[in-house]
Each structure stands twice: as C-alpha cells, then as structure tokens.
Amino acid sequence: MLLYHHINGALTDTHAAAIGLNDLGLLRGYGIFDFFLVKNKQPLFFQDYMDRFSRSADLLGLELPFSREDTYDHIQELLDANQLNDAAIRLVLTGGYADDSYTPSSPNYIIMQHPMPAVPEAYYTKGIKLMSYPFERELPEIKSTNYLTGIRIRNLLKQAGAPEVLYHNGASISESARSNFFIVTNEGVLVTPEEKILHGITRKQILHLAQDLQIPTETRTLLLSELPKAREAFLTSTTKGVLPVTQIDDITIGNGAPGPISQQLMQAFTDLVHSFIS
C-alpha cells in the first residue's frame, strides 16, 4: 500500500489525498494524464513522456503549473516517501476547480505512484487475442482521461477471450485502448498506423530499434483486410512493452505463435531499458 501522492506540489498522505468535487476532471472529464515506469529511481524515457504530457496540456489549453525539473524533483520526493525504487508514475492534469462546473481555471496537478504493473508471463510466450471494435477515440492525439468506450466494452472482451481491443473505422485500424498496434507483413515489413492514434513512447522506441536492426518499416494507413496475410502482430505500451498478438477475432496471425521479429524487438526493447538503468 502506497502512502503518499503529490497534489499541486505538496506531498500528501494517501488518506488525505483527494480532489474537491467541483474539479473539471471529475465533473466534465476535462483532464489529461501520462504514465511511465521508474526503475532504480530513474523515470524511463522521461523527456519523451514530458514532451507528450506538455503537448496534451497545450491541446486542451491547460497550463502546467510546474516545470519539468520540478516534476522530476517531486517524483524523487514521492519515491523517497514511499520507499520504492521501481514503480509506475501517473501524472494527471485537470481543468481545475470551476464555479460554473464548466469553465477551466487553474489546473490541478496530481502525481500518483503505483506498484509496478504486472502482465501475465504467458501473454508474452503465447501471445494474446484481440477483439476488433469499431471506434475512434475522441481527439486521439491527446492522452485525455476519457476511457468511456474502452472500459464499457471490457465485458465484451472478456466474453471474446481477448485481453485487449483493436479499434478500427470499418476499413482501417487505429490502435488499442491503451496500446499501439503493429503488424509484420508477409513481405517482412513492419507496419503501424500513423494517424488518429496516440503516439506512444514505446511505439517510438520500437520504430527506432527496428531501424537499428534494419527491419524495413512503414508508418501508414493499415487496413483490416491486411490482417489475414500478416505474419506477425504485436501491441506496444508502457505497461506491456512489446506484447505479441497471435489472434484477432477469428483470424490466426502467422502460425499462431509469437513471431521472430516480435521476439527480436521484445529483446531489443528489454536491452534498451536495461542500458538506461545499469
């Protein structure tokens, strides 16, 4: 059980850590967040995450009340207080308190620490199934707090035996609820959608690593109709890293097991993370 959070620059005991009822994040879903891992007290890819967090804030017209350096210091303070070296950090910025319940004021800035998230090991060795679902996230380039559809369809996913969803517009694929999506085509090209998605930090690292490994890559429109011929598929996210996908609805991807390029990138990403914390 974690004891402390950070609210508007102050270390706050969990029992006291709360937000007033007229916060626009709560009343109007007007909020953004970001989420990254900390290993040996080092926030991984910190500048990338802060770049995205700032961009999300800008796009909603919210001003960050603390500098990047302050945020770094607050995170260290939090890690010390909670006596954890490895953890996940969530930054949340809301529209602040609104007398009229609608017009943003001074944002509320929250830093929360979570235990390191766990993904079942079998997901990586066997790959997972995705359920396709027709949906496009509102303002997808913003990491907003809006997960209405993703959470609402969780029982459909459970029934389908799919731990995650694959959003599409009937023709092209965008992303999963909390992950980016990649395939390896029959020609061995790594493809991931480029538009109407949240630009994941892990996605960005994977594209760099693929380049280093001389795997041909394309960031472009990815059609649903390309799935049956795909050799491999995987998700990327902060929590999951590279997670192989072996089935989408009734389509088996490749031979139904995690493919060599997925495994190569999984290993390369693990090595990259280790290189930062050693």
Q: Which residues bind a copy of itself (CB under 8 A)?
A: 5, 7, 17-31, 33, 59-61, 90, 92, 94-95, 101-104, 110, 112, 114, 138-139, 142, 144-149, 151-152, 154-155
To a copy of itself, the closest distance from the beta carbon of 14 in angstroms equals 8
User: Distance of CA 100 to CAs 27, 28, 44, Å?
Assistant: 11, 11, 39
Taking the least distance from each CB to a copy of itself, the nearer of 3 and 272 is: 3
- Distance of alpha carbon 96 from alpha carbon 161, whole angstroms: 39
- Strand stretches in 69-188, DSSP E: 87-94, 109-114, 128-134, 164-168, 172-173, 180-184
Q: Are strands 164-168 and 128-134 parallel, antiparallel or unpaired?
A: parallel
Q: How far is the CB of 203 from a copy of itself (least distance, A)?
A: 20
* Cβ-Cβ contacts under 8 Å for 158 (sequence gap 6 or more): none
How far apart are the C-alpha atoms of 127 and 121, rounded to whole Å?
10
Backbone angles phi, psi at 155, to 5 degrees: -75, -35
Q: Which is nearer to a copy of itself, 47 or 101 (CB)?
A: 101
Instruction: Kindly state the smallest distance separating residue 266's Cβ from a copy of itself, in Å.
Output: 23
Please report how close the Cβ of residue 133 comes to a copy of itself at its closest, in angstroms: 13
Closer CB to a copy of itself, 82 or 144, in the complex: 144
Q: Are strands 109-114 and 10-13 parallel, antiparallel or unpaired?
A: unpaired
131 neighbors 162 (Cβ within 8 angstroms): yes
Cβ nearer to a copy of itself, comparing 185 with 239: 239
Distance between CA 202 and CA 189 in Å, rounded?
19
Nearer to a copy of itself, 55 or 114 (CB): 114
**Smallest distance, a copy of itself to C-beta of residue 61, A:** 7
Closer by beta carbon to a copy of itself, 137 or else 231: 137
Q: Taking the complex as a whole, how short is the minimal distance between the CB of residue 167 and a copy of itself, in angstroms?
A: 12
Question: Two tokens at 66?
Answer: 């603390």
* Complex with a copy of itself: residue 9 or 104, whichever CB lies closer: 104
**At its nearest, how many Å lie between a copy of itself and the CB of residue 183?**
26
Both tokens assigned to 252: 């088996």
Amino acid at 10: A
Tokens of 41: 């007290």
**Amino acid, res. 242:** V
